[in-house]
Amino acid sequence: MTAASPTRAASSRSAPKRWPTSLVLGIALLAPLLVVAVAGPWLAPYPYDEMNIMSRLQPPGPDFWFGTDEYGRDVFSRTLVGTTNSLVMGVAATAISLLVGVPLGLVAGYGRGRTDEIIMRCMDVLMSFPPILLGILVLAVTPPALWKAVVAIGIVYVPQVVRLTRAITLELMQEEFITAARLRGESTAYILFHEILPNIWPPLAVESSLRVVFAILLGAALSFIGMGAQPPSSDWGLMISEARPFVEQAPWIALCPGLAMGITVIGINLLGDGLRAVLDPRNTGGH
């Protein structure tokens, strides 16, 4: 401790914190998406599955802002309605990973020894499958459906969450305030949920935002190969997949969901970067 090190200087509570640009941008991108996700079916100019065979493969125009697909369905409306799908898929899958992974990680990190060994070896087995393979495997066992894809993706990312939670828990276990709690004779549950958990949330929140992105992309990939959302639903991955044969005549069918996905992913990434900057000032970049 020598020179004034202002970067690490304790930030005062009274001093207003400037929101990082990435956070502001991320929220700006995601807020409309959330609105769309909730109100998509009402905002859409057409029902997402209404076919209009007379105007199939129409280019974008006043009637159909992003054109129509091979059934004459309005691409824009389908993309809007698909927002819910994608976001729910991302968030729900992440929620599953967290619900399963965080307690396991806590227990492994806190219990150490045998418990830790068993949990982590199980995770090793899960992690020995590449994510998409695991997803495919889970979906191959049962007829594909969207909710199954969500569960599959959730399971795929459990090991990562467990590892992260465990790593932070192990790190926190070295912290003296945990020692202080043990010294007071606090119960294991209290230490886990009142001392450790609040300190796990910030990095976990950052991680979760990344997980949501991965989940959305993996979900789209599964739908793309026909193992996720099923037609005629308007999942973005499925839409892009269905657009493939027509992509030369009617690139807009793929473009619109592609753009929507880009905005979503960039938005969540920015949000994650922003959260990282706010919650975890030590970290400098993302991976």
Partner 1 sequence: MTALVPLSAAASPDPTPATAAMSALLEVRNLTINYASPRGTLRAASDVSFAIRPGEVMGLVGESGSGKSTVAMAILDLLGEAGRIDGGEILFEGTDLRRLSAGQRRSLRGDRIAAVFQDPFTSLNPALTVGRQIAEPLVQHKGFTPRQAAPRVEELLAEVGIREPRRIAQSYPHQLSGGMQQRVLIATALGCDPKLLILDEPTTALDVTVEARIIELLAGLCESHHLSALFVSHNLGIVNRICNSVCVLYGSEVVETGRTRDVLARPVHPYTKGLVAALPRITTDRRHRLSSIPGTVSKLSGPPDSCVFAPRCPFAEETCRRLPQALRGDAAGNSVRCWKAEALSGTPWPEESTASRPPATPPARTAPLVQVDALRKVFGERRSILPWLRRDGTVAVDDVSFTIQRGEVLGVVGESGSGKSTIGRSLLALIEPTAGTVLFDGADFVKQAKEGDRDLRRRAQLVFQNSAASLNPRKTVGAAMERPLVLAGRQGEAERREMIAALLTRVGLPAAYADRYPHELSGGERQRVNIARALATDPEFVVCDEAVSALDVSVQANILNLLADLRDELGLSYLFITHDIAVVSHIADRVLVVYGGTICEEGPIGRVLRPPYHPYTEALLSAVPRLSGAEDGPEPERILLEDSTAPPGGGGCAFRGRCPRKLGTICDERAPPVQTATDGHRIACHIPLAELAERASVFPELAALH
Partner 2 sequence: MLLYTLTRLAYLAMVLVVMSILVFLVTQAMPGDVASMIAGQFASKEVIDAITVKLGLDQPLIVQYGRWAAGILQGDLGRSLVLEQPVAPILMEALSRSLVLAVVALAVVTVIGIGAGVLAAVRRGRMADQMVSGVSYLGIAVPDFFWAIVLVLIFGSYLKWLPTGGYAPLADGFVPWASHLVLPVVTLVLMLIARIARLTRSSMIDVLQTNYVKYARAKGLPEKVVIVRHALRNALLPTITVLAIDFGLILGGVVVIETVFSFPGMGRLLLFAIQRHDLPLIQATILIISTAYCLANLAADLLYAFVNPKIRHGMGNA
Partner 3 sequence: MVKRLVARAVLSAFLLSGTALAAQAAGTLKVAVDSNLNTLDPAKMKGGQEYVAAYLLFNGLTAIAADMTLKPDLAERWEHSADLKTWTFFLKKGVKFHSGREMDAEDVLATITRIQDKATGSTARVNFEIVESMKAVDSHTVEFTLKSPYSGFAELFGERQARIVPRDALDTLASNPVGTGPFQFVSFAPGDRMVVKRNPTYFEAGLPKLDEVVIRILPETASQVAALTTGELDLAWNLPPEAVDKVKATSNLKAEAVPTSTWDGVIMNGTTKPFDDVRVRRAVATALDKQAITQIALFGYGTPTHSPIPPSHPYFNKDLPIAKGDPAAAKKMLAEAGYPNGFEVTLYTPAGRATRERLGLAVRELLKPAGITVNVQRVPFDVFLKDIEGKAGFYIDGFFSRPTIDTSVYPWYHSRGSWNAALWNYSNPAMDKLLDGARQASSEEEAKKLYGEVQALAVQDAPGVIPYVINHVNGVSARVQGFTSHPMMFLDLRNVSVGQ
The contact set with partner 1 (CB under 8 A) reads: 1-4, 6-7, 9-13, 15, 18, 175-177, 179-186, 195, 198-199
For position 180 contacting partner 2 by CB under 8 A, the verdict is: no
Q: Which does 266 bind (CB under 5 to 8 A by kind): partner 1, partner 3, partner 2, none?
A: partner 2
Return the structure tokens found at 92: 């729900």
The nearer residue to partner 1, 4 or 141, going by C-beta atoms, is: 4
Q: Which residue's entry shows tokens 């150490």?
A: 112
74: phi then psi, degrees, rounded to nearest 5: -75, 115
- In the range 258-277, which residues lie near partner 2 by CB under 8 A? 258, 261-263, 265-266, 269
For position 215 contacting partner 2 by CB under 8 A, the verdict is: no
Q: Which does 225 bind (CB under 5 to 8 A by kind): partner 3, partner 1, partner 2, none?
A: partner 2
For position 133 contacting partner 2 by CB under 8 A, the verdict is: yes
CB atoms within 10 A of CB 27: 15
HEC string of the chain equals CCCCCHHHCCCCCCCCCCCCHHHHHHHHHHHHHHHHHHHHHHHCCCCCCCCCHHHCCCCCCCCCCCCECCCCCEHHHHHHHHHHHHHHHHHHHHHHHHHHHHHHHHHHHHHCHHHHHHHHHHHHHHHCCCHHHHHHHHHHHCCCCHHHHHHHHHHHCHHHHHHHHHHHHHHHHHCHHHHHHHHHCCCHHHHHHHHHHHHHHHHHHHHHHHHHHHHHHHHHHHHHCCCCCCCCCCCHHHHHHHHHHHCCCCCHHHHHHHHHHHHHHHHHHHHHHHHHHHHCCCCCCCC
Q: Which does 103 bind (CB under 5 to 8 A by kind): partner 3, partner 1, partner 2, none?
A: none
Sole binder of partner 2 in the list 27, 34, 100, 132 (CB under 8 A) = 132
Task: Give the range of 65-73, 97-105, 186-194, 243-251 binding partner 2 by CB under 8 A.
Answer: 243-251
* Largest interatomic CA distance in the chain: 77
For position 217 contacting partner 2 by CB under 8 A, the verdict is: yes
Q: Which does 249 bind (CB under 5 to 8 A by kind): partner 2, partner 3, partner 1, none?
A: partner 3
Q: Which does 232 bind (CB under 5 to 8 A by kind): partner 1, partner 3, partner 2, none?
A: partner 3
Determine the Cα–Cα distance for residues 101 and 213; give it in Å rounded to an integer: 17
Q: Which residues bind partner 3 (CB under 8 A)?
A: 51, 53, 56, 70-71, 143-144, 226, 230-232, 244-249
Task: Give the range of 31-39, 40-48, 122-130, 189-197 binding partner 2 by CB under 8 A.
Answer: 122-130
The nearer residue to partner 1, 4 or 54, going by C-beta atoms, is: 4
For position 137 contacting partner 2 by CB under 8 A, the verdict is: yes
The nearer residue to partner 1, 11 or 284, going by C-beta atoms, is: 11
Determine the Cα–Cα distance for residues 24 and 257; give it in Å rounded to an integer: 24
Binding site for partner 2 (CB under 8 A): 121, 124-125, 127-130, 132-133, 136-137, 140-143, 213, 217, 220-221, 224-225, 237, 240-241, 243-244, 247-248, 251, 254, 258, 261-263, 265-266, 269, 283-287
